[in-house]
Structure 1
Amino acid sequence: MAVRLEFLTQDPEEIALATRYWAMDEDGVYLEKVSELVPFREITQSGLIAKHARTFCQAFDENQACNKCEGPILVTSRTDAKKQFQRSEAPCEACSGALRQEELERRRAAEIELQKQLTSRIDYMRTVSISYADLTDDQRFILLAIDALITPRLAHSTFTEGSCEALAPWEGTSYLTRLFRAGVIWDDPEAARSGTYYLHDGKLQAITSSLQFFLPPDELLGRGAEALETVTERQFTDPEVMTNLWLDYAVGDVLRYLLDQCRVYNHDLDYEDIEKIKATIRFGLHTYSVSQLWFVMWKVVRDAASLANREYYNRQKAAATIPNKIRKQIEWADKQGGIDRCWDRPEHHIAGSVGMAFLTLFEIDEFTGGKQALAKFAQLSAKASTEEVQGVASNFMQGALSRNVSLWAMEQFAGLIRAGFDTNGALDELVRLNPETFSVAIS
């Protein structure tokens, strides 16, 4: 018999029944039909025999080897037994119990380690601070847009990724991600719901959509509305980062329109196609407005839809032509003197809080030409230079007046101008040559 029996009873009749139930010949064929085993005491239905037999007998199939300990596998009915030797897919009952216990202990250890790392992160978050004065222009601009969207939570409380979806028409939460990766925005484990944090390879990880974010206090001013005002009210002076931020936003604005049109006509664009299109759009935005490029997107998608209906074409092949068609349309417009049509923003297509901030602070939107928009940011450099020179000049005059050498200082300044120095260069040269006289300027 390939099935080994272990009896849980001393009742001769029950032992006999179990033996008859499992009895088989050398070929693994059962000697008696189950229907021949009834009636047995109060049991009259053959379908209940196996269930009853399990209460006083355990059967181990020696034709099945446990994949862990190689011992026989416990079977509960005739159909479970095998006629030929094989390794079981599942471990035996004893090994399964041991594996369950190991998994339970592993989970307990992981939970202890998770709580340990969470406690450490919570303690750190209670002390973390940043320098608002060191924030870059694009970081401050994004904070301003977030504040407009969720005020007053940015200054006083926490907020989620979902709160920032309306920052931009396309991938609005990516602006929050920028700040998070740069260490401007942090996560608050204490405010997050259970299950947000977990361990992966022993390291603390989190489900981003469940995180609770917050703006840390300034290292000097602390946290609150007044401290936040120092971020949002300071003048923007970096043309490069603001230009790039505008182009990032405007590319997303155009791409959102394109993808909406592609959904209408059932065109699927893969990742590489989208990356090519983004580069082309960014190039076009140096000359054209967002609304003009919306027209280009509309035209190209319509052309692709028409192409898909031609013989030997399909939607996939037609969609693959879209990146090059966009590039050709912009090249054609450059040669022909521009794009003479523009589209209005669709009703369901928001400008987002970032877009509204650009309109408020720089008076640019989807209708502003590319050259005009970039010129707005180029002016930041000239403005910053003027303010810097004014600061140096003010310190220079204070130093001269305080030491009663204003006439001499002006004569020296005029001489340097005649020698070819510009205003800022002449002031710097005077301070360098006479540091004690103009100590205010270098304090």
Structure 2
Amino acid sequence: MICKNQPPGTVRQMAIKLDIKTTDSETISLLQRYWATDEAGGFVEKVSALLPFREIKNSSGLASYIRTVCNAFDENQTCVKCGSNLTITSRSEAKKYPHHPVHPCVPCKAEMDEARRIAEEQAEAELRRRVLEHAANVEARTINYESVPDDLALIALALDQTISPRLIGGSFRYADCASLAPMYVDEFINRLWKGGVISDNPRAPGPMAYLVKGEGLSYYPNRISFSLVPDEFLGAGAEAFQELVVRTYKDKKGLLGLWFDYAVADCMAYLYDQCSDFNLVVPEHKIEEIKSTVHTALKFYSIAEVWCMIWRVVQKTSTNSNHRFSSKEKSAGTIPAKLLLQFESARKGKTAFTKWDRPKSLPAGMLGQVFNEIYGFDEKTDSSFIIKMLSDDEPLDRSQVEANIDSRVQELMTAALSSGSGAAVMYDFSELINNGADISEAIEKLMDVYSIPARL
């Protein structure tokens, strides 16, 4: 290679070595004058002084001609791979002082490009092999639709209405399901994926969705496609799908959990919508804290009432952001604490929430519509009614409750009064009830705290 083994005819002038490819004396003189440098590393003659040269009238034409009859090597620049001097094609590429470039010489670059091309071909072949193997495994999967939990069946029903007819016999992506819920659509899709109701579809049309990761595969979320997993007996047609979704929904606990997940998504979508109106950005590291407070509030209030709570917090946050020593970013960071204070104030009876109408910019999503069609729930439905409808326990009448707790209440109050803790017991009992405990559960928790002396 020229940069490693210079030809015998190489001429050295200062820090630039020349590999001259002509025997024409006039051209050789031109090359020497063009590349000649002084002790300071500057070029001795200006390019304009070398023109015209024969039929060449301008500097760009001269530089092009020189490249055809000479290779120039800068001793101040060496290849990062082999250490040879780098080829330069114009005066502007020359360095006055030793320089450590990050790129290789031309021959080494060609070798590296070829090695890279071979490695990429091998990687693509390995990826295709793994994807084909994965596709075979996916296509062999089946599921018993009768064993699918009710909450997943309800999501599947809503998903079918969202992307019909692609769920049955077709494929879809996350982006196709945007109208499934007001927010966190990917999480609902992933529940179906994790539950085996749907699977990724490696043979779906579109750009490659997978990449090699360790010994397995990973995927690009914006590319991956999904399809319905067939029933082990009925397949994956329309008739089989009816067996999946047309059922008596009995798992009330699972459905109640799904409702709360949907309701949290509805409220978080409202929060982001309101924050957008006031140019507030919800801090990423505070999102889970906010969702937790919203989830707790939804056990006591309807979605529409929690919207009211959120609206008050965003209004106050926006107002505070205009204060002299505050900012949008600082104020947005206080949203979780303000939500919790609003909730606690409401539980203590110091404030009340209004049931607001659904904003036109915030559709309920197909999952919300399915809940409404089956149970009549919507954003204004009282939380207590929803919990009662989706409770597996039959409510006890007053006489049964009193009979079950009578002896424990007497024991608790005797111990509390004897220790002067009667008022504290009543306060703690109220707090436990407000936080969602039933009467028996609250009494048992208080027994652990206040009845120890009596038991000794």
The TM-score with structure 1 as length reference comes to: 0.81
Indicate yes or no: 2:171 matched with 1:158. yes
Mark the runs of 5 or more structure 1 residues left unpaired by the alignment.
Answer: 384-443
Separation in 1, partners of 2:144, 2:302: 36
Question: 1:339 offset after TM fit, Å?
Answer: 3.0
> Which residue is 1:241 aligned to?
254
Q: CA deviation at 1:97?
A: 0.8
Task: Report if the CA contact (8 A) 1:250-1:290 is conserved.
Answer: yes
Please state how far the C-alpha of 1:47 moved relative to its aligned partner: 4.1
CA-CA distance at 1:79 after TM superposition: 2.1
Indicate the larger mover: 196-205 or 147-156. 196-205
Q: Secondary structure at the match of 1:100?
A: helix
Tell me which of 294, 298, 316 is aligned to 1:285: 298
Indicate the residue corresponding to 1:131 in structure 2.
Answer: 144
Indicate the larger mover: 234-243 or 325-334: 234-243
TM-superposed deviation, 1:154: 1.8
Cα distance change, pair 29–329 in 1 and its aligned pair in 2 (3 A): closer
The amino acid that maps onto 1:53 is I
Residue number among 47, 64, 72 corresponding to 1:51 in the alignment? 64
Deviation by residue 1:306-334 (Cα, 9 ceiling, x = unmatched): 22233433323322322222111111111
Cα distance, 1:123 vs. partner? Answer: 2.2
Asked if the contact 1:130–1:184 (Cα under 8 Å) also holds between the matched residues in 2, the reply is yes
Assess, with a 3 A threshold, how the Cα gap between structure 1 residues 30 and 166 changes in structure 2: closer, same or farther: same
| Rounded Cα–Cα distance in structure 1 between residues aligned with 2:162 and 2:16 | 71
**Structure-2 residue corresponding to 1:406:** none
* Per-residue deviation, residues 109-140 of structure 1 (Å, max 9, x unmatched): 11111221222122223322122122112111
Secondary structure in 1 aligned to 2:212?
strand
- Which residue type is aligned with residue 145 of structure 1? A
Residues 202, 98 of structure 1: CA spacing in aligned structure 2 closer, same or farther, 3 A cutoff? farther
Aligned length: 382
Change (3 A) 1:111 1:176: same
User: How many Å separate the matches in 2 of 1:37 and 1:337?
Assistant: 91
- Answer whether contact 1:3 1:22 (CA < 8 A) is retained: yes
**After alignment, is 185-194 or 248-257 more displaced?**
185-194
Three-state SS of the structure 1 residue aligned to 2:391 is: helix
Q: Distance in 2 between matches of 1:182 and 1:10?
A: 79
Is residue 42 from structure 1 mapped to residue 55 from structure 2 by the alignment?
Answer: yes
**Any idea what SS the aligned residue of 2:18 has?**
strand
Q: Does 1:196 align with 2:209?
A: yes
Cα distance in 2 for partners of 1:373, 1:337 equals 24
Where do 1:137-286 residues align within 5 Å? 137-201=150-214, 203-286=216-299
Shift of 1:54: 0.6
Deviation of 1:340 (Å):
4.7
Matched letter for residue 164 of structure 2: T
Out of 95, 114, 133, the residue aligned to residue 108 of structure 2 is: 95
**Aligned-CA RMSD value:** 2.0
CA distance in structure 2 between the aligned counterparts of 1:220 and 1:63, rounded to whole angstroms: 75
Distance 1:340 1:45 in 2: 81
Displacement after TM superposition at 1:279 (Å):
0.8
Unaligned ranges ≥5, structure 2:
1-13, 396-456
How far apart, CA to CA, are the structure 2 residues paired with 1:3 and 1:371? 86
Distance 2:280 2:170 in 1: 42
**Given that residues 61 and 74 in structure 1 are in contact (C-alpha distance below 8 angstroms), is that contact kept between their aligned partners in structure 2?**
yes
- Using structure 2 for the length normalisation, give the TM-score: 0.79
Give per-residue Cα distances to partners, 1:165-213, cap 9 Å, x unaligned.
1111112232112212333211222223133333345643332222221
Pair 1:114 & 2:127 matched? yes
CA gap of 1:136–1:337, structure 2 versus 1, over 3 A, is farther
**Matched AA of 1:353:** M
Deviates more, 1:304-313 or 1:90-99: 304-313
1:29 counterpart residue number: 42
SS in structure 2 opposite 1:61? strand
For the Cα contact (< 8 Å) 2:196–2:229, is it kept in 1? no
1:70 to 83, 106, 125: 83
Aligned equivalents of 1:306 and 1:37: distance in 2?
Answer: 72
Contact 1:165–1:171, Cα closer than 8 Å, also in 2: no
Percent identity between the two aligned chains:
36
User: Cα gap change, 1:363/1:314 in structure 2, threshold over 3 Å: closer, same or farther?
Assistant: same
1:338-376 CA distance string (max 9 Å, x none): 735110001121111111111112221111111111111
Task: Return the alpha-carbon distance in structure 2 between the equivalents of residues 378 and 299 of structure 1.
Answer: 31
**Aligned residue identity for 1:210:** R
Q: Write the distance in 2 (CA, Å) between the matches of 1:136 and 1:77.
A: 72
- Residues in 1 aligned to 2:168 and 2:58: alpha-carbon distance in whole angstroms: 74
